[in-house]
Amino acid sequence: MTQAALEQKPVEEAAPERGRAFGRHYLPFAYPALAITAAVIVFPWLFTIYMSLHDWKIGQQREYVGLANFAKLATDPRFLESIGHTLYFTVLAVVLPVIFGTIAALIFNERFPLRGLLRAIFILPMMATPVAVALVWTMMFHPQLGVLNYLLSLVGLPPQLWVYEPSTVIPSLVLVEVWHWTPLVMLIVLGGLAALPAEPYESAKIDGATGWQMFRHITLPLIMPFLLVAIVIRTIDALKAFDTIYVITQGGPGTASETINIYLYLNAFSFYNIGYASAVTIVFFVLIVLLAVMLLYLRQKAKWS
Amino acid sequence: MVVRRLLRNLGFAFAVFVIVSPAILVMLWMLSLSLKNEVDNMAFPPVFVPSPPTLNNFYDVFEKNRFDTYFINSIIVSGLATIVAILVGVPAGYGIAKAQAHKLAMLTLIARITPNLSYLIPLFILFQWIGLTGTVWPIVITHLVITLPIFIYIMIGFFESLPADLEEAALIDGCSLWQAFRYVALPLAKPGIVVGAILSIIFSWNNFIFGAVLGGRQTRTLPVAVFNMLTFEQVAWGPLAAAALLVTAPVLLLTLFIQKEIVGGLTAGGVKGG
Amino acid sequence: MADSKMNFSRRTALKVGAGAAGILAAPALMKVARAQTGGFNWKKFAGQSIEVSLTLGPRADVLRRHEKEFTDLTGIKVGSEAVPEQQHRQQVVIQFNSGNPQFDVITISWHVQKRLVGKSKWLTDMKPLLADTNLYAPEYDFPDMTAGGIRWATQADGRMDTLPLSIDPWMIYWNKELFAAKGLAFPKNFDDIVMAAEKLTDKAAGQYGWVSRGLKNANVPVWTSFMLGHDMDPVNPKTVQLQTTTPEAIAAAEYYKKLNKDFAPPGTVGFNWNESQTSFSQGKIGMWLDGIGFAPPLEDPTKSRVVGKVGYGIMPNGPKTKNSATFGDGIGIASASKKKEAAFLYCQWATGKLMASRLLQSGGGSPCRASTYSDKDVIAGLKLPREWLTCLQESTAIGRPGLPEIVPVTEFRDVFGIGLTNTIGGADARAEMVKATEQFTPILQKSEQG
């Protein structure tokens, strides 16, 4: 990015209005970033596509097989199961944080003493190192010695098997996700709440509306764009969730918490089946894009209404 | 009337308490585990306040595992990945914002959507080919996947919201585009850069999978080291919790001190989210 | 040791590791260097430094504890680390494939990685090194190595790419106090095991008759332990065909299911050896089936509530045979290493007589040297009860590989491990084994071709 390359002739003759065409001249600012992106993002993607067309295990010869990997995926029961687990996990891991995050945002939108400090504490989970926190949760989940079962016993509930039981493992992992990411939703929605105008509320109060009515008819529609941003971000992250699940259950018990990402990891780094793993990556990516696009489409519709 | 007000306040305080307690309680529990010795840690019902508390677990962590090396590695990796991302990402954000090149902005979205694992094998092969395996560089370069999109994303939002008058004035006065950027827009962008840097450092610090696959004995990062401690010693919860605390303490402290800026950056970024 | 046992052990020693006193030593076919005059100079490569990559566990513990001695002896600096099993195995493949592994010495689990490593020749052949007068220390006494250990260390094409480090036979730890309270004796056969487990289980009191690994991948040896008693291997060694849907294999899976589902503490689906070990050491478990190298913490008063109450039982009779599932580790030098000589000195030290005796004494494993077991001083220095040693020797005598010698062992353990874990939750054992076999058959076939 040298001075010379970007030097423009003096623009005193041009009017201060620059059209979109002029915008082109700003592109060189982005070239270095594009170069890095090409190396670090585009290249791996192209290579992944290349690998997915081969039957390639590390340490063995690779063999071009066209779309055979994808055909195998379509009938792979373990893969199809993993899609189910992923969707189950994602729905819970999106809906719950959005609900709790919105409530938290409403609370933090009010002014009260120590608000700054409490807000700082509230967002700590989001910033904590996932691996470290997952290890602590693993200890808390222990059926005999963990503190969670102890807390349950204090309120008279029976002890749970948490992550050691196929039927409760995904909800338990969702619990960790909710703890971890509710603050992010809170922040996004808070941004929206902060920008709300005051008049609608004043008129509503004069008309005698209750808090709930005000929320439902004024607040909710106005923050809908923000809610949708939160939903999209949460969906993408939940679909891709890895560290937490890997550390706590490695996809177990058996395959009960094996999501697509975990299955991907297994294929690539335990079975060294990188051809097959690349096919999983591509299908996975397409799935995420489809869901994200669908949600964004909903957002567009909400924007216009 | 007064009673009503009081109840309302109490109810509100209770709500605040309920909302904030999970966050703080888990952290406190981590602290408690790390300060207890073996016997206390295996006790049931669980002991909350260790008596007496012990720092042995922390000594263990440094002695038996080379946490000082890994700590430095984490600093190097996150630091370098952030610096490169600033040098390259801020101008890029500016360029894309000004050029309204939304398609390029899409690239950062693609980076966000792609599962991290899929970068690993191609990049690993690339590094092997170049001959960088065994150094910290592969990890730093791979972390750019995390840090660069953060900066570009935040800076696009930031520059889009800057009024164009000042730069216009500079351009009319005869500045080149670069000069307008460097002397007018850039100083104004400092808050955005700060937020970007903080978020970039935090997310890069927290990353586990890149260091796990690409890191060797001397080059791995903290999260990987703490994960390696997991198996073996039966119920060695003390050292494990101590290690976990050590790994996450820096980012937690950073968050506490700079929470205002982080909140600002994330909410602004969220709003502008395309 | 009775004579009949000696004959039996002679035969099976050809299959597996160390054993009773007087076991066969290395056949004279192995060429080793002649003694140099003036003693071996260990300091030949002083000043160099090597990287050693170990699997986290009792063996690594012993090696790292005495690492400084090696440096004092040779002047070679050692950078070592012990990585948890699963991560270590993954790293190994990635590192070797990079063509530039960051270690010179590495420990390998024969039962998982032997063929994988041998196929691609990732480790250096030890034979030329042993025959090299400049590198071979006579006090190493290679002929002292047991024939079983050497067999494990030797690949099908004749290359010996590791030095035998340790053998780990499986047996049953049992709580003598709990057994006595119910007037039970150590089981004599598989059905006895189930009966004892049932009698010892009192869920209201939080007491269980059995604990073993339930975590997928790690749990497969529990199942094969029962399979071997039916005189059945998971994969036929000659034809390399899966035998996992045979009546014997299914029967073994049924034993696995019954014991882990009905008589084991809740949560075993997530248990690897360390959780099982913790469980047993708390004193409320009747029996624990696992490798013999995990004994030391059980006799450690700061960690265990069953000190002095632990019985070390040999795997009881199955319907057809009495076998102990056995696994082993070797230590090898990376082919790409630039410091092979220094690395070789480390390997010799690690599997030498002194370290072997330390390994045995600490209870961390079973070295592959005949002399260790007949050395009175070594035996006297044993930190564990004599019963442990007897169990070790007798188990090794009836040892039989607990995992098939194929390339994709990890996938085998994963696929069948999942099926076994599912049975704990109530799934039908036959159905799970059939499903797993279907899934794994193409993988096995492909691996035998490539």
pLDDT per position as a tens digit, B31-87: 888 888 776 776 777 777 777 788 888 887 777 777 888 899 999 999 999 999 999
Contact call for A191 and B152, based on CB within 8 A: no
Closest residue in B to A274 (Cα–Cα) = B121
Look up the CATH number of the domain holding residue A95. Answer: 1.10.3720.10
pLDDT per position as a tens digit, A241-254: 999 999 888 887 88
Which residues of chain B make contact with C104, given a CB cutoff of 8 A?
Answer: none
pLDDT per position as a tens digit, A39-83: 888 889 999 999 999 888 876 778 888 898 999 999 998 999 999
- Between the CA of residue A3 and those of A209, A279, B180, what are the distances in Å? 62, 45, 12
3-state secondary structure of C327: strand
For chain A, how many structural domains are there in total? 1
For residue A44, is it within any domain? Answer: no
For residue A18, is it within any domain? Answer: no
Contact call for A270 and C411, based on CB within 8 A: yes
For residue A233, is it within any domain? Answer: yes
Task: Count the neighbouring beta carbons within 10 Å of the beta carbon of residue A75.
Answer: 8
The DSSP element (H or E) to which C443 belongs, if any, is helix C429-449
Closest residue in C to B209 (Cα–Cα) = C87
Secondary structure letter of residue B135 according to DSSP: S
pLDDT of residue C16: 42
Residue B84: closest CA among B149, B178, B159, B156: B149
Q: What is the pTM of this model?
A: 0.84
Q: What would the DSSP string read from start to end of C351-381? A: TSHHHHHHHHHHTS-B-SBHHHHH-HHHHHT
Residues contacting residue A188 through CB under 8 Å, at least 6 positions apart:
A101, A226, A229, A230, A233, B266, B267, B270
Q: Which chains have at least 3 CB atom pairs separated by less than 8 Å from chain B?
A: A, C
Per residue of chain C (450 residues), what is the pLDDT tens digit? 333 333 333 344 334 444 332 234 444 445 566 554 556 888 888 899 999 999 988 888 899 889 999 999 999 999 888 888 877 888 888 788 777 788 999 999 998 889 888 888 899 999 999 998 888 888 888 889 888 888 889 998 889 999 999 999 999 999 999 999 999 999 999 999 999 999 999 988 889 999 999 988 889 999 999 999 999 999 998 888 999 999 999 999 999 999 999 999 988 888 888 888 888 988 999 999 999 988 988 988 877 889 999 999 999 999 999 999 999 999 999 999 999 999 999 999 999 999 999 999 988 888 999 888 888 888 888 889 999 999 998 998 898 999 998 888 989 999 999 999 999 988 999 999 999 999 999 889 888 876
C135/chain B closest Cα distance in angstroms: 28
3-state secondary structure of C401: strand
Q: What would the DSSP string read from start to end of chain A? A: --HHHH-----TTS-S---HHHHGGGGGGGHHHHHHHIIIIIHHHHHHHHHHTEE--TTS--EE-TTHHHHHHHT-HHHHHHHHHHHHHHHHHHHHHHHHHHHHHHHHHS--TTHHHHHHHHHHHHHS-HHHHHHHHHHHH-TTT-HHHHHHHHTTPPP--GGGSHHHHHHHHHHHHHHHHHHHHHHHHHHHHHT--SHHHHHHHHTT--HHHHIIIIIHHHHHHHHHHHHHHHHHHHHH--HHHHHHTTT-STTTT--HHHHHHIIIIIS--HHHHHHHHHHHHHHHHHHHHHHHHHHHHHHH-
pLDDT of residue C89: 85
- Between the CA of residue C250 and those of A231, C139, C419, C431, what are the distances in Å? 48, 49, 12, 9
Q: Report, as an integer, the average pLDDT of A267-288.
A: 90
Task: Count the neighbouring beta carbons within 10 Å of the beta carbon of residue A116.
Answer: 12
Burial of B253 from C-beta contacts in 10 A (0-12 / 13-18 / 19+): exposed
Residues contacting residue A225 through CB under 8 Å, at least 6 positions apart:
A192, A299, A302, A303
* Average pLDDT for chain A: 84
Q: At what angle do helices A166-194 and A130-141 cross, to 10 degrees?
A: 130
Burial of C158 from C-beta contacts in 10 A (0-12 / 13-18 / 19+): exposed
How far is Cα A279 from Cα A107, in angstroms, rounded to an integer? 45
Task: Count the neighbouring beta carbons within 10 Å of the beta carbon of residue C377.
Answer: 8
Which amino acid does the sequence have at C229? G
The DSSP element (H or E) to which B264 belongs, if any, is helix B259-271
Burial B87-121 (b: 16+ CB within 10 A, else e): ebbbbbbbbbbbbebeebbebbbebbbbbbbbbbb
Residue B201: closest CA among B269, B254, B133: B254
pLDDT per position as a tens digit, B169-216: 888 888 888 888 888 888 888 888 888 898 899 889 999 888 888 877
A143/chain C closest Cα distance in angstroms: 7
pLDDT of residue A12: 38
Which residues of chain C make contact with A267, given a CB cutoff of 8 A?
Answer: none
How far is Cα A243 from Cα C375, in angstroms, rounded to an integer? 50
Q: What would the DSSP string read from start to end of B183-251? A: IIIHHHTHHHHHHHHHHHHHHHHH--HHHHHH--TTT--HHHHHHHTSSSSTT-HHHHHHHHHHHHHHH
Domain span at residue A193? 81-304
Q: Report, as an integer, the average pLDDT of B145-167.
A: 82
| Cα torsion through C417, C418, C420, C422, rounded to 10 | 160
- Are the C-beta atoms of residues C87 and A247 closer than 8 Å to each other? no
Residues contacting residue C30 through CB under 8 Å, at least 6 positions apart:
C127, C130, C142, C143, C150
Place of tokens 């070390």: C312
Which residues of chain C make contact with B134, given a CB cutoff of 8 A?
Answer: 100, 102
Domains and CATH numbers, chain C: 26-168+328-400 (3.40.190.10), 169-325+402-449 (3.40.190.10)
- Between the CA of residue A29 and those of A74, B96, B180, C76, what are the distances in Å? 44, 8, 12, 53
What are the residues of chain C with a beta carbon less than 8 Å away from any beta carbon of chain A?
90, 93-94, 97, 116, 119-120, 214-216, 265-270, 408, 410-411, 414, 418, 421-422, 424-425, 439, 450
A46/chain C closest Cα distance in angstroms: 20
Residue C327: closest CA among C169, C212, C172: C169
Rounded to an integer, what is the distance from CA C19 to the centroid of its chain?
A: 14
For residues C398 and A226, which has the higher predicted lDDT (pLDDT)?
C398
B217, B218, B230, best to mutate vs chain C, most C CBs in 10 Å: B217
- Strand-pairing partners, residue C399, are C324
Task: Count the neighbouring beta carbons within 10 Å of the beta carbon of residue C128.
Answer: 12
Burial B182-203 (b: 16+ CB within 10 A, else e): eebbeeebeebbebbbbbbbbb
Backbone angles phi, psi at B153, to 5 degrees: -60, -50
Closest residue in B to C100 (Cα–Cα) = B133
C-alpha dihedral sign at A12, A16, A17, A20: positive
Q: For a pLDDT cut of 70, what percent of chain A falls above it?
A: 91
Burial of C156 from C-beta contacts in 10 A (0-12 / 13-18 / 19+): exposed
pLDDT of residue B128: 78
3-state secondary structure of C394: helix
pLDDT of residue C302: 77
3-state secondary structure of C95: helix
Pick the CATH number of B60-271 from 1.10.3720.10, 2.140.10.10, 2.60.40.10, 3.40.50.720: 1.10.3720.10
What are the residues of chain B with a beta carbon less than 8 Å away from any beta carbon of chain C?
38, 42, 124, 128, 133-134, 212-213, 216-218, 227-228, 230-235
For residue A128, is it within any domain? Answer: yes
How far is Cα C440 from Cα C244, in angstroms, rounded to an integer? 10
Backbone angles phi, psi at B241, to 5 degrees: -65, -40
**Pairing between β-strand C285-291 and β-strand C208-211 as defined by DSSP bridges:** parallel
The confidence band for A221, taking pLDDT boundaries of 50, 70 and 90, is: confident
Task: Count the neighbouring beta carbons within 10 Å of the beta carbon of residue C153.
Answer: 26
pLDDT of residue C232: 93
Length of chain B: 274
The DSSP element (H or E) to which C170 belongs, if any, is strand C163-175
How far is Cα C209 from Cα C198, in angstroms, rounded to an integer? 6
Residue B135 has pLDDT above 80, yes or no: yes
**Residues carrying CATH 1.10.3720.10, chain B:** 60-271
The confidence band for A305, taking pLDDT boundaries of 50, 70 and 90, is: low
Place of tokens 């006065």: B173
For residue A149, is it within any domain? Answer: yes
How far is Cα C87 from Cα B227, in angstroms, rounded to an integer? 10
From the CA atom positions of chain A, what is the Rg in Å? 25
How far is Cα A240 from Cα A262, in angstroms, rounded to an integer? 9
For residue A187, is it within any domain? Answer: yes
Classify A228 in phi/psi space as left (phi over 0), alpha (psi -120 to 50) or beta: alpha
Residue A179 has pLDDT above 90, yes or no: yes
Which residues of chain C make contact with B42, given a CB cutoff of 8 A?
Answer: 282
pLDDT of residue B266: 62
Residue C421: closest CA among C435, C408, C409, C407: C435
The DSSP element (H or E) to which B123 belongs, if any, is helix B117-130
Q: Report, as an integer, the average pLDDT of A97-116.
A: 89
Q: For a pLDDT cut of 90, what percent of chain B falls above it?
A: 11
